[in-house]
């Protein structure tokens, strides 16, 4: 496929400004970038996409998502999840192994890759489980999983409770040059709670999840990472204590990276309107102090990247009440508009700051060789209408999930066209 994308506004980091460009795609590669001031190119023999002065960016990368297949197709399939990702401007996503059965064998890694190749419009990178069936009792075959295509190891959805097991996993992952991607959660501190320990649970007389349930694992694991030399990546950081521990580990040269989700940057437990399971996620919404800490952690580089933790559930499951409903909210189709509206349009962040944490940074953290709008790079591209304003309407989502706390929010900056590996993945 040969394409000219005309009149796209491309972010220039050096000048901290948008510049109009024409971009030529040849097959799966960005072949050429021209200044629009040079005039229109000869487009003979090419398809033409007029970006019409809208933002043209490298495709977004999401290193923490749940596609639910196999086993939970009533929540999401690889086809619906990747379609939703493409609509949100994502061209590469990394899916967690907590399916049914979990991705803990080479055959299951290959199943995900084959399904994604068959049905998915965007690039899917599978994680494999650290322990068999994610039970924390026996390590999986890391070498075979890597050979099958796994990009890292995680028991996301549950924390690895046994420190010896985690240390052995880190040592093995380090020997293979792959990361350990940790869902940090100490089970003995959970007590079956649905929300964070704080004002909301006090008001409703509920049990609360303490911050220490997350940060204890972060502290333990950064020490184990120091001992083993593994690349240790912390999932969905949500507490002030975790930020502090990651910052300390980085200062001491530990090879640790971290991610944060839009909902933990935008919402606290004091925003929860009532006993609504669409506000139930794991980690839970924390205090305003924690929100401030994760924002500052992202801004000073303690936290490296932004992910969605896209976690669809059926409406029936979320209607069971906060005690019985599963944790999680969807995120693909609202991530960029939320962050653009609340942080860039308000002047707190530059557009370049946000784009870097959704493109180049995640690619660099995981060594993907993606995330750049440059000649010779993969043709993963997203066009965003920064002026388009619309309300979040879950009924219009492409994901099967409707579980979001952002319904009705009026946002700007909506992706309108996505190309992955030189193929149009979605167009408004």
Which residues carry out catalysis? 309
Radius of gyration over alpha carbons of the chain, in Å?
21
Are 304 and 357 in contact by the 8 Å Cβ rule? The answer is yes
List Cβ neighbours of 419 (8 Å cut-off, separation of 6 or more).
3, 25, 59, 91, 379, 380, 381, 382, 425
Distance CA 226, CA 215 (A): 17
Residue that is written with structure tokens 């940074």 in the block:
361
Are 136 and 155 in contact by the 8 Å Cβ rule? The answer is yes
Is 327 annotated in some ligand binding site? yes
Is 156 annotated in some ligand binding site? yes
Tally of CA atoms within 13 A in the half-sphere of 7 that contains its CB: 9
Are 356 and 2 in contact by the 8 Å Cβ rule? The answer is no
Distance CA 181, CA 129 (A): 10
Using CA atoms of 169, 175, 180, 186 in order, give the dihedral in degrees to the nearest 10.
30
Distance CA 393, CA 29 (A): 35
Is 393 annotated in some ligand binding site? no
Is 263 annotated in some ligand binding site? no
Is 183 annotated in some ligand binding site? yes
- Nearest residue to 62 (alpha-carbon basis) of 310, 255, 278: 310
Is 67 annotated in some ligand binding site? yes
Is 343 annotated in some ligand binding site? no
User: Which DSSP helix (H) or strand (E) runs through 373?
Assistant: none
Distance CA 283, CA 294 (A): 13
Tally of CA atoms within 13 A in the half-sphere of 339 that contains its CB: 29
Is 390 in a helix, a strand, or coil?
Answer: strand
Is 68 annotated in some ligand binding site? yes
Is 398 annotated in some ligand binding site? no
Are 230 and 245 in contact by the 8 Å Cβ rule? The answer is no
Phi, psi of 111 (to 5 degrees): -60, -45
Phi, psi of 336 (to 5 degrees): -65, -50
Is 64 annotated in some ligand binding site? yes
Distance CA 27, CA 43 (A): 15
Annotated binding site: 64, 66-68, 98, 156, 183, 236, 282, 309, 313, 327-328
Annotated binding site for substrate: 66-68, 98, 282, 313, 327-328
Annotated binding site for Zn(2+): 64, 66, 156, 183, 236, 309
């Amino acid at each position: 496929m040969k394409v000219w994308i005309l009149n796209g506004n491309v972010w220039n980091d050096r000048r901290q400004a948008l510049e109009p460009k024409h971009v030529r795609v040849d097959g799966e590669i960005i072949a050429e970038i021209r200044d629009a001031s040079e005039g229109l190119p000869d487009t003979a023999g090419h398809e033409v996409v007029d970006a019409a002065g809208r933002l043209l960016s490298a495709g977004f990368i999401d290193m923490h998502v749940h596609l639910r297949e196999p086993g939970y197709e009533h929540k999401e399939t690889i086809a619906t999840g990747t379609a939703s990702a493409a609509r949100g401007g994502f061209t590469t996503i990394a899916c967690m192994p907590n399916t049914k059965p979990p991705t803990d064998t080479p055959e299951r890694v290959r199943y995900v890759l084959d399904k994604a190749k068959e049905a998915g419009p965007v690039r899917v990178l599978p994680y494999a489980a650290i322990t068999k069936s994610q039970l924390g009792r026996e390590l999986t075959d890391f070498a075979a999983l890597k050979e099958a295509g796994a990009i890292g190891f995680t028991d996301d959805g549950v924390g690895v409770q046994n420190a010896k097991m985690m240390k052995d996993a880190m040592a093995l992952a380090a020997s293979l040059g792959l990361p350990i991607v940790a869902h940090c959660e100490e089970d003995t501190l959970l007590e079956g709670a649905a929300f964070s320990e704080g004002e909301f649970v006090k008001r409703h007389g509920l049990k609360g999840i303490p911050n220490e349930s997350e940060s204890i694992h972060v502290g333990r694991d950064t020490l184990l990472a120091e001992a083993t030399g593994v690349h240790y990546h912390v999932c969905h950081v949500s507490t002030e204590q975790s930020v502090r521990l990651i910052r300390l580990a980085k200062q001491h040269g530990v090879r640790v990276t971290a991610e944060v989700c839009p909902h933990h940057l935008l919402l606290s437990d004091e925003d929860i309107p009532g006993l609504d399971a669409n506000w139930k996620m794991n980690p839970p919404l924390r205090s305003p102090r924690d929100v401030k800490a994760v924002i500052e952690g992202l801004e000073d580089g303690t936290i490296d990247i932004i992910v969605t933790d896209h976690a669809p559930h059926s409406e029936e499951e979320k209607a069971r009440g906060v005690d019985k409903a599963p944790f999680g909210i969807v995120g693909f189709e609202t991530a960029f508009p939320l962050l653009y509206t609340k942080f860039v349009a308000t002047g707190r962040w530059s557009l370049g700051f946000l784009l870097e944490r959704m493109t180049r940074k995640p690619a660099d953290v995981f060594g993907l060789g993606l995330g750049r709008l440059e000649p010779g790079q993969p043709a993963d591209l997203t066009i965003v209408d920064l002026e388009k304003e619309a309300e979040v309407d879950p009924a219009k989502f492409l994901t099967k999930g409707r579980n979001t706390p952002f319904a009705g929010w009026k946002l700007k900056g909506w992706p309108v066209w996505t190309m992955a590996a030189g193929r149009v993945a979605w167009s408004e």
